[in-house]
Structure 1
Amino acid sequence: MNCLFLSLLGISGNLQWNTTGITVLDTSQIISARGVYIDSNNTLYVADTAVIWRLLNNATNATIVAGILQSTGSNSSQLNTTQDVYVDRYGNMYVTDYFNNRVQKFINRSTDAITTAGINLPVGSALNQLYRPTCFTFDSTETYFYVVDYGNNRVMRYLINSSTGDNGTLVAGRNGTDNTNISLNGPSGIHHVSSINNDLFITNYGGHSVLRWTPGASSGTFVAGQPGVAGSNSTLLNQPRGIKIDNYLNMFVVDSGNHRIQLFCVNNQTATTIAGNGIAGNSTMQLNGPRSIAFDTNMNMYVADTLNGRVQKFLKL
């Protein structure tokens, strides 16, 4: 890809990665990688079925830092089908706890969490409830986080220090489920861009598209994919999940149903495939139902290769 960029980390250059992946975690340690996050020390965090793994930079063995291995549940030390993970500047860790319909916060490496969003069962659509939260994104000041409320086809905003029962603010999706720009259809991934109206970029898993949405606006704008149409050419998506945006607004989209990572240069709705060959498989050049991506300080790309039960690293060229 020959478009120039200023990356998430301020690195300039051409957008190219080695298409041969390096496995950094596999089923010898993890079960099913869903969300990946990398902090400023290049520590990798992986959201697995019931736990969060941490892999230190240049280490080979991961350790569990939240949840109980092969023990799903809803108490303060348990998780149930985690989807995403984030660590703030103070070392507090946040986890979307999918089947418990909540966001959990583990303070200062505690193994017991407090609930920062959502009431643990029953599910609902009130402002203090969530229904199957998937991914979240945080603003640059770590004042707010935005969580994709998949089951309610909406995005909610919460104060980072909110506690159980606090109301969130509905910021995107409020008009049912369809493929128009006033609704969301099975939203999954999300990325916040503070430099432009605090805009959100949201993947529509059920609508095979990506929308750009200013929080609180009555509608968004489609920026990738054809709404409601699944496909595998360079302009179409199939069940997109994770998404990352660099400072030039180039989009990296996890095209899960096509088993690939797509790069859309700014203001361009034609993508280039930068990882995966579009066919499900477990070779070093293939992916199988990937869910999310993250970048380290050198812009190496890490992919949660979910159905292969591994995390793949693609070196920046």
Structure 2
Amino acid sequence: MQQLDSKCISYNQPKLCANATWNQTAVTFANSTMVGSLPVGMYVDRNNSVYVADQTNARIQVWLNGSTTLTGTLSGGLYFPYSVFVTDNGDVYVDNGYTNYRVDKWGWNSTSSVPAMYMCAPCYSLFIDINNMLYCLMSTYHQVVSKSLDTRLNVWNIVAGTGTAGSTSVTLYNPWGIFVDINLNLYVADTANSRIQIFASGQLNGITLATGAITLLYPTSVIFDADGYIFITDNWNHRLVGSGPNGFRCIAACSGAAGSTSTQLYYPHTMSFDSYGNIFVTDQYNNRVQKFLFLSNSCNGTTTVTTIATVTSMNNTQSVSLTTIVPGISSTTTSYSNRM
């Protein structure tokens, strides 16, 4: 298992094969005793530390460095935190906007927080890009804003949405999740419009991601692997979906029905990879965090086949090598250039 290597990136983007699969029987990583009722926000960093926003108890629960035992709690001054983001140096940013209208920052190994940003609504999702810009998704304003962390001035810019709900290319409707790639393109889980919107860097006009045979219903989070393939929490379909060389497919909880068994989810919300390719997801209405284990043997006994295809990126169109894993076929191996 390989990862996209960048000193500025704190999240995991594992290198997956084309037919990567996950154990469909999940392990319960944390239950309501640890994460409260209806958990939504979560973050897994490159050290495999897990941070979960426990809204009910106004705290962030922390499992450090791959531990399965709770190792810490961040609290004090929080009220109903929706989201959490952790930087590569260990700073923890937490939404505290429900009544306090700010984002708080806990420095590495600190026991207290300082305000990092003031805004006018909760941040349903937080993200920090490679240029040290903090993004806040204000769902109730149908908008995403950003602020530089390199200045103390509380000046933020609108990067997506007009402030009014809508389904056009420039509007959003109760969005929930965001991701910013290394080219500074913004991806928004435009929840009530049941779509993923892509905003090229500096552009307010979005493009809707095509998901092929997969029909999304109220998606709530979006992440990427090392090759730029997208993975989505399909909230109202109670499943996780992902893309690859062969298009979009369901990857976990694929029955289509909500439930509380180890093979089901009930309004899953935020998903994250760990460094091994395992998937963590906040299973909101089951009051738990589930972990779907990556099956490393799903990539064994296969051979890499290289083809040439034309890929249209946010900035240009180019021919690239595509690496596809096909069982039982011999071919020359060529590496696949990162698409993000």
With structure 1 as the length reference, what TM-score do the two structures score? 0.81
What is residue 33 of structure 2 aligned with on the other side?
28
Distance of aligned partners of 1:66 and 1:237 in 2 relative to their CA distance in 1, 3 Å threshold: same
- Hey, what's the Cα distance between the residues in 2 that align with 1:213 and 1:242? 16
Equivalent residue for 1:42, pick from 27, 45, 48: 48
- Counterpart check, 1:167 vs 2:155: yes
- Hey, what's the Cα distance between the residues in 2 that align with 1:210 and 1:224? 8
- Counterpart check, 1:261 vs 2:237: no
What is residue 267 of structure 2 aligned with on the other side?
289
- Hey, what's the Cα distance between the residues in 2 that align with 1:202 and 1:312? 23
- Hey, what's the Cα distance between the residues in 1 that align with 2:3 and 2:91? 28
Distance of aligned partners of 1:237 and 1:10 in 2 relative to their CA distance in 1, 3 Å threshold: closer
Give the match's secondary structure for 1:262. strand
Give the match's secondary structure for 2:140. helix
Equivalent residue for 2:169, pick from 165, 181, 193: 181
What is residue 102 of structure 2 aligned with on the other side?
102
Distance of aligned partners of 1:218 and 1:59 in 2 relative to their CA distance in 1, 3 Å threshold: closer
What is residue 286 of structure 2 aligned with on the other side?
308
What is residue 135 of structure 1 aligned with on the other side?
125
Distance of aligned partners of 1:250 and 1:35 in 2 relative to their CA distance in 1, 3 Å threshold: same
The question of whether the paired residues in 2 share the 8 Å contact of 1:172 and 1:215 is answered with no
- Hey, what's the Cα distance between the residues in 2 that align with 1:285 and 1:86? 28
1:118-153 deviation digits (Å, cap 9, x = unpaired): 2xxxxxxxxxx3322111222135x11212111111
Distance of aligned partners of 1:116 and 1:58 in 2 relative to their CA distance in 1, 3 Å threshold: closer
The question of whether the paired residues in 2 share the 8 Å contact of 1:170 and 1:216 is answered with no
What is residue 202 of structure 1 aligned with on the other side?
188
The question of whether the paired residues in 1 share the 8 Å contact of 2:15 and 2:226 is answered with no
Distance of aligned partners of 1:60 and 1:297 in 2 relative to their CA distance in 1, 3 Å threshold: closer
Moved more, 37-46 or 171-180: 171-180
What is the Cα deviation at residue 64 of structure 1? 4.1
Distance of aligned partners of 1:20 and 1:221 in 2 relative to their CA distance in 1, 3 Å threshold: same
What is the Cα deviation at residue 212 of structure 1? 0.5
- Hey, what's the Cα distance between the residues in 2 that align with 1:174 and 1:313? 36
What is the Cα deviation at residue 266 of structure 1? 6.7
- Hey, what's the Cα distance between the residues in 2 that align with 1:172 and 1:27? 34
Distance of aligned partners of 1:266 and 1:132 in 2 relative to their CA distance in 1, 3 Å threshold: farther
RMSD: 2.3
What is the Cα deviation at residue 12 of structure 1? 3.9
Q: Tell me the amino acid that sits aligned with residue 94 of structure 2.
A: V
Q: Tell me the amino acid that sits aligned with residue 121 of structure 2.
A: Y
Moved more, 215-224 or 276-285: 215-224
Greater Cα radius of gyration, structure 1 or 2: 2
What is the Cα deviation at residue 98 of structure 1? 4.2
Unaligned runs of 5+ in 2: 5-11, 296-340
- Hey, what's the Cα distance between the residues in 1 that align with 2:287 and 2:210? 28
- In the alignment of these two chains, the number of paired residues is 281
What is the Cα deviation at residue 292 of structure 1? 0.3
Q: Tell me the amino acid that sits aligned with residue 146 of structure 1.
A: Y
- Hey, what's the Cα distance between the residues in 2 that align with 1:303 and 1:10? 16
1:204-229 deviation digits (Å, cap 9, x = unpaired): 1111110000243130100046xxxx
Equivalent residue for 1:158, pick from 144, 147, 166: 147
